[in-house]
């Protein structure tokens, strides 16, 4: 997660870079989520419980990160527009 996002300390000159950074991170996490969902769908019935649990945990983390970056990006875009 980005360290400066929680503080809300954005200067107008840095806002563009911040929006870009957030968009890149969101894209990266969305790609990772898609990869994990594809991997999860490809798991067969013979896959171990540990493998299912590992993937479920990674999926939960990726979904949480996507939601987090989407929320930060929307909030930052609103700050830039005002």
Q: Round to whole Å and give the CA distance between 63 and 81.
A: 27
Give residue for tokens 């996002």.
Answer: 5
Task: Please tell me the predicted confidence (pLDDT) of residue 18.
Answer: 81
Which tokens hold the place of 41?
Answer: 């769908």
Q: pLDDT by residue for the chain (82 residues), tens digit each?
A: 455 455 555 555 555 558 889 999 999 999 999 999 999 999 988 899 999 999 999 999 999 999 999 999 998 877 777 6
How is the chain split into domains, by residue range? 12-81
Does pTM surpass 0.85?
no
What's residue 59's pLDDT? 98
**Alpha-carbon distances of 52 from 24, 32, 42, 70, rounded to whole Å:** 29, 17, 11, 27
């Amino acid at each position: 997660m980005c360290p400066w996002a929680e503080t809300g300390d954005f200067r107008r000159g840095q806002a563009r870079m911040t929006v870009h950074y957030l968009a890149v991170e969101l894209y990266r996490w969305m790609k990772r989520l898609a990869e994990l969902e594809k991997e999860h769908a490809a798991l067969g019935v013979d896959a171990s419980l540990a493998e299912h649990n590992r993937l479920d945990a990674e999926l939960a983390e990726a979904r949480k990160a996507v939601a987090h970056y989407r929320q930060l990006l929307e909030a930052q875009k609103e700050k830039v527009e005002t």
